[in-house]
């Protein structure tokens, strides 16, 4: 289905007790071929100091453990993703309607909330 519809989203999920903010950005493809998939990027910042938090055991053991499974799980939200120390990047499935893309973003946010909404203290190494 070719349409002129696209989705651009920036979501910041704050978890003050856990001490982190998850930043999700979805951008339309910058290619000149119709139907290219939108990009997905997730990073984490320190809620107090607004600095990037790497996905390493030295910075946060819970984040370092979580990122492995979450990046694989994202396929359920229509995102093919990989991760490195700076975050998760990938592409959303091509050919999805804006509503399907938004549902995928919502599912991605919900999975983060289910895990990090439970923390009662910072997940960051002091």
Alpha helices (H) in the chain, listed in sequence order: 61-73, 98-116
- Residues forming beta bridges with residue 44, ordered by sequence position: 22
C-alpha to C-alpha distance for 23 and 109, rounded to whole angstroms: 10
Confidence at 105, pLDDT banded by 50, 70, 90: very high
pLDDT at 42 over 60: yes
Contact 78, 91 (CB under 8 A): no
What's the pLDDT at 50?
Answer: 93
Residue 6 pLDDT > 90: no
Query: To the nearest whole number, what is the mean pLDDT of the chain?
Result: 92
Q: Span 88-109, mean pLDDT?
A: 93
Whether the per-residue pLDDT at 2 is higher than 70: the answer is: no
């Amino acid at each position: 289905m070719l349409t002129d519809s696209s989705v651009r989203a920036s979501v910041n999920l704050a978890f003050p007790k856990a001490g982190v903010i998850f930043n999700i950005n979805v951008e339309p493809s910058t290619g000149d071929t119709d139907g290219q998939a939108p990009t997905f990027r997730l990073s984490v910042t320190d809620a107090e100091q607004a600095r990037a938090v790497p996905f390493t055991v030295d910075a946060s053991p819970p984040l370092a453990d979580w990122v492995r499974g979450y990046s694989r799980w994202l396929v359920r939200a229509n995102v093919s993703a990989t991760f490195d120390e700076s975050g998760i990047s990938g592409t959303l499935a091509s050919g999805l309607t804006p509503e399907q893309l938004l549902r995928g973003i919502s599912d991605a946010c919900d999975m983060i909330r289910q895990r990090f909404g439970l923390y009662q203290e910072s997940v960051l190494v002091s």
